[in-house]
Chains A and B, each alone.
Chain A
Amino acid sequence: MKIRQISVFLENRKGRLYEVCSLLGQAGINIRALTIAETESFGVLRMVVNKPDEAVSLFRKHNITANLTDVVAVEVPDRPGGLAEVLKVLSDGNVNVEYMYAFVEKFSEKALLVFRFDDPAGAHRVLTSAGITVLTEKDLPNL
C-alpha cells in the first residue's frame, strides 16, 4: 500500500540537479514522478523511481544526502474534477495532507497522485473504503 519516495537534500548550486538526475539516468533508474521544494539556500528533491533501493545506495555511494519516506500513490480518473473527488474523500475522512504532487506521466485513462500524509495508515483506510485505487511498489515498474 505504501510507496517509498526518495528525498534528496540539494544545496542551491548550479548544475547540482543535473548531476543528481544524470546519476540515476546512467544507472538505468527511471524517475516516475518528481517535485522540488525549495528555500532560499537549499532544496529538497522528492521523487518516486522504479528502483528505490538501488537509487538510495547509488546516492549514498556518491555522498549525496538522501533518505526514504513513505508516501501513498493513488489513481484518479483523468478528467475535470478527478483530483477534487479524491481530496473530498480525504477531507471528509478528516485526513491531513502534508504535501502532494502529480505524476508527470499520463497513462491509460488515469492520472496518478502522490500524497504524503501524517497518518498514512488512516489515509489508506479512507481512500480504499471510498473505492480509490492505491498503488503498491509492485505496480511501479509497470507504469
Chain B
Amino acid sequence: MDIRYWNQRLETLPQPELRQLQLERLREVVGYALQTPFYKKRLPKVGISSPEDIRSLDDLKRIPFTVKDDLRQAFPKGLLAVDMEKVVRIHSSSGTTGIPTVIYYTADDLDRWTDLLARSIVATGAGPGDVFQNMMSYGLFTGGLGMHYGAERVGMAVIPVGGGNTQRQLQIMRDFRTTVLHITPSYLLHIHQRMPEFGLTPADLNLKKAWMGAEPHSENTRLKLQELFGIDIYNSYGLSEMNGPGVAFECVYKNDLHVWEDGYIIEIIDPRTGEPVEDGREGEVVFTNLIRHALPLLRYRTRDLAFLHPEPCPCGRTARRMSRITGRTDDMLIINGVNVFPSQIEEVLMSIPEVGTNYQIHLSRHEGLDRLTVKVEIYSKLFTGDLAALEALKNKINEKLRASITINSRIELHEPGSLPAFEGKAKRVVDEREKL
C-alpha cells in the first residue's frame, strides 16, 4: 500500500502529544471566542473568563453546546471574533428558513483549512500529476472552493467545473484526461447511467479516484461505484460550520474517516442526555473548531450520528477514525446534495391560500437523481372548477418552493381528506430512495 503523508509529524503525532496540541489550540480559540458577544456572555457563566481557565481538555465539558439556532440568533456578527478588516472570506447558508448562518475566515483560517484538505487529498494517494475535476458547487457552499484550494496546494491540475451538465462533464473528463473527481454519490451514479447516451464507457476515460461527499452513502454504494468505474472511491466528511470538507477523510485503507484531531476536537454524545458515549457506540457528533479564529465554534452539535473507531489504522495516522454518518437526530433531508428541512416546505405551502392543511413530502430516486414530489390537498372553498386555475396553482407552488429550497419539485394536487391524516406527530415524509 502506497502510504503518503502531507504533514507526517502532525499526522502521526503520538496521542499524548496530540492531546497536548489540542489543549494549546483550544486555549487559543477560547481566547478568540471570548472576543465575541455570544461567548463573552456564555463562557464566564461556566467559569471561563480567560484562556488560562482551560487547564485540561476536560474543561471543555464545562462549555455548553452550541447549536445551529445559536448561529442564527447571532447573525450576522454575534460570533465574529476579529475585525472585519481581517476577514477574507464569508460562507453562508441560503437562509431560506429565515435567518441564515454565516462563517467568517481570516487569511490564516483559510490557510489552516486548506492544509487539512491537502492532507486529506494526499491521504488518498492523489497529488501532482493528477487532473482534478471538481464537480461540487462553487459559491456560498463550501464544498467547491474548499477542495479547490486544497488540490491546488497539493499541486494537482484543478478543473473548477462545478456541478451539473453531464454532457459537458463527460467531455471535459475525456478531453483533459481527468484522473480525480469530487462528486456526490448520486451524481456519480447518474453520470454512469448517462454514459451510453454519449457513446462512452468508463474505459474511454482516465479516471483513477473519486472523493465522495455531501451525501451519506453506504459501503455497498461505494463498492458498486468502484466496480462500475474501475476506480478507488474515498469518503469525505465536512460541514460548513467546521469550515467545510476536510474535517474527516478516508486514507488508502478506506477504513472509515480519519478525523483531523489537531484541527477539530470530536465528541460523540447521547443526543438525549448530552453525555459522552464510549468509543464504538453511536451518538451525535460534536465538534470544536481548533483552527478558525474569525468565527470560533465550541462544542457544535452537528445533528449527524456516527461512532468512533479507537483502534489504530495500518496507515500509521494517530487520529481516531469516525464511521460514515449513520443518520440524523433531526428531520433534515438531503435532496441531490441540498439540505432541506420539511419545515421549509411546510412554510411555503401554508403561505398559499388554495392549499389545504394536509400535505406529504415524497422522495424517490430516478436515474441517480433524487426526485421530490410534494402532494398537497387543495382547499375546497377555493375550488372554482377551473382546470387552468388548478394548473396555475401547481406552477405557483413549484415556483414558490423552488425560490425557498432551490429544488424543482413535482406537485400533486389531492382531494381534501385523501392524504393520510395523523394524530399527534405527523409523518409527512415518505422517503422511498434506496439507501445510498
Contact = CB atoms under 8 A, between A and B. Distances in A.
Interface of A: 5, 7, 9-11, 13, 37, 39, 41-42, 44, 46, 63-69
A138 to B, nearest CB: 23
B70 interface: no
A10 B390 CA distance: 12
Given A11-B418, A63-B380, A65-B378, 9 more contacts: A9-B390, A9-B415, A39-B387, A39-B391, A44-B387, A65-B415, A67-B384, A67-B385, A69-B385
B312 interface: no
B413 A63 contact: no
A37 to B, nearest CB: 5
B379 to A, nearest CB: 9
A67 B418 CA distance: 18
B415 A44 contact: no
B387 A37 contact: yes
B303 interface: no
Interface string B384-420: 1111001100000000000000000000111111100
With most chain B CB atoms within 10 A of its CB, the pick from A5, A9, A65 is: A65
A53 to B, nearest CB: 16
Contacts of B384: 7, 67, 69
B383 interface: yes
Contact of A44 (B390, B412, B417): B390
B418 A42 contact: no
Contact of A13 (B380, B416, B418): B418
B143 to A, nearest CB: 35
Contacts of B413: 9, 11, 41-42
Contacts of A65: 378, 380, 383, 415-416
Contact of A10 (B380, B415, B416): B415
Contacts of B380: 9, 63, 65
B383 A67 contact: yes
A64 B412 contact: no
A42 B385 contact: no
B381 to A, nearest CB: 9
Contacts of A13: 418
A41 B414 CA distance: 8
A79 to B, nearest CB: 32
Nearest to B379: A65
A44 B414 contact: no
